């Protein structure tokens, strides 16, 4: 009888010990701790377009400054434009047990929000309008959101870009754009553009391009319709196809206005866009605040659109239709090719 009791006690002790190990392991997984209890961050994004690259640079710089090179583990997941891959990566990120997931771009935000059934901590950035995505955010009550998600909205300064276009040529009337109606950022941007352009007497001439390969065909069609200028919007297909857009518009002597200013110097006449490095830094600061113990539930969703105007006057000299840079606009520009050139790579 005594032996039976001892055996039963030993079996219970083994089960209890195993349960304790499992509980500890699961707790560690939920905290996202690894070797040395380092926080583990997953960064999920849709494509390595330049805005994302710039934002990642700022994000990484802030994390290094706050935690040091070895103080945090960062795992990047990039689907390079493939939506099924992005959705699977989102599932993997949601199930990874990481401390926090950062999503950059609207497709990444949507994919992870859909996969995040466990309500793992989530910070987003590089999103035009997160309030229309059906993920529990309200533009009028930004402090009220799901306890596990917050981030930064960056609506592009499209109205400013179009005002600059009119400054450079008050006679301009028709502006072409090729965009993907399946991309949420593009849909939100086109909504902004239509209202902004109608208010100043511009007509937006649209052509759909569901893939990067379709953009050039759409551009050729628009150029053949007699547009005065072309706009590269916050659309991943259009941004990936920027070299072919710039080549076609140069041959047609039509200036290109871009919502990403770094296309200036590569053939665009004007760029008015956000400083994506600055946005990435702000996302990084938000992550550090959360790692330091600030509850996500107490952090409202914020807007951040640090913007700059870049101009290449030489492009206008090659274009038809009386384009020029007014002196007051030239004085305002952060970059004026030939006078105030862009900073070298790696410089702020």
131, 67: one domain: yes
Q: What rounded mean pLDDT belongs to the chain?
A: 88
What whole-number distance in Å separates Cα of residue 187 and Cα of residue 206? 12
pLDDT confidence bin for 344, thresholds 50/70/90: low
The enclosing H or E element of 231 equals: strand 229-232
Q: What is the mean pLDDT of residues 221-237?
A: 95
Paired tokens of 299:
């952090």
Whether residue 286 has pLDDT greater than 90: yes
Domain total for the chain?
2
210, 271: one domain: yes
71, 115: one domain: yes
Could you give the residue ranges of the DSSP H alpha helices within 35-105? 50-67, 83-94
pLDDT confidence bin for 346, thresholds 50/70/90: very low
pLDDT value at residue 174: 98
- The answer to whether residue 322 is domain-embedded is yes
- The answer to whether residue 26 is domain-embedded is no
- The answer to whether residue 15 is domain-embedded is no
Whether residue 37 has pLDDT greater than 90: no
Predicted structure pTM score: 0.79
Q: What is the mean pLDDT of residues 258-275?
A: 94
Domain of residue 244: give its range: 158-275+307-336
pLDDT value at residue 336: 95
pLDDT confidence bin for 49, thresholds 50/70/90: confident
- The answer to whether residue 282 is domain-embedded is yes
What CATH number does the domain containing 203 carry? 3.40.50.2300
196, 313: one domain: yes
- The answer to whether residue 10 is domain-embedded is no
237, 262: one domain: yes
pLDDT value at residue 1: 44
**DSSP code at position 52:** H
Of 32, 180, 174, nearest to 99 by C-alpha is 32
183, 262: one domain: yes
49, 198: one domain: no
59, 192: one domain: no
pLDDT confidence bin for 81, thresholds 50/70/90: confident
CA 25 to chain centre: 34
CA 322 to chain centre: 35
DSSP sequence for 236-271: HHHHHTHHHHHHHHHHHT--EEESSGGGBTTTBSEE
- The answer to whether residue 47 is domain-embedded is yes
Q: What percent of the chain has pLDDT over 70?
A: 88
Q: What is the mean pLDDT of residues 219-225?
A: 97
162, 249: one domain: yes
């Amino acid at each position: 009888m005594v032996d039976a009791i001892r055996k039963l006690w030993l079996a219970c002790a083994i089960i209890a010990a195993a349960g304790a190990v499992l509980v500890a392991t699961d707790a560690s997984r939920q905290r996202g701790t690894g070797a040395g209890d380092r926080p583990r961050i997953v960064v999920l994004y849709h494509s390595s377009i330049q805005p994302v690259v710039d934002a990642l640079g700022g994000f990484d710089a802030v994390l290094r400054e706050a935690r040091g090179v070895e103080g945090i583990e960062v795992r990047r997941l990039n689907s390079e434009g493939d939506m099924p891959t992005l959705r699977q990566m989102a599932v993997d990120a949601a199930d990874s047990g990481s401390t926090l997931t950062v999503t950059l771009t609207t497709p990444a935000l949507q994919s992870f929000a859909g996969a995040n059934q466990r309500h793992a901590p989530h910070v987003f950035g590089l999103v035009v309008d997160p309030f229309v995505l059906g993920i529990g955010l309200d533009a009028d009550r930004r402090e009220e959101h799901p306890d596990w998600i917050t981030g930064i909205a960056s609506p592009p300064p499209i109205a400013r870009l179009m005002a600059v276009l009119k400054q450079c040529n008050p006679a301009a009337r028709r502006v072409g754009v090729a965009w993907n109606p399946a991309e949420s950022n593009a849909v939100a941007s086109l909504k902004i553009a239509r209202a902004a352009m109608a208010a100043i007497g511009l007509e937006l001439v649209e052509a759909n391009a569901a893939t990067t390969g379709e953009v050039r065909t759409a551009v050729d069609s628009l150029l053949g319709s007699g547009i005065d200028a072309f706009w590269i919007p916050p659309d991943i297909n259009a941004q990936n196809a920027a070299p072919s857009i710039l080549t076609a518009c140069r041959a047609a002597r039509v200036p290109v206005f871009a919502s990403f200013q770094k296309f200036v110097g590569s053939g665009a006449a004007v760029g008015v866009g956000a400083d994506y490095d600055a946005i990435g830094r702000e996302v990084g600061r938000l992550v550090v605040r959360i790692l330091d113990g600030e509850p996500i539930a107490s952090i409202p969703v914020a807007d951040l659109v640090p913007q700059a105007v870049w101009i290449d006057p030489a492009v206008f000299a090659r274009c038809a239709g009386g384009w020029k840079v007014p002196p007051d606009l030239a004085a305002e520009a952060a970059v004026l090719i030939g006078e105030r050139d862009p900073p070298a790579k790696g410089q702020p």
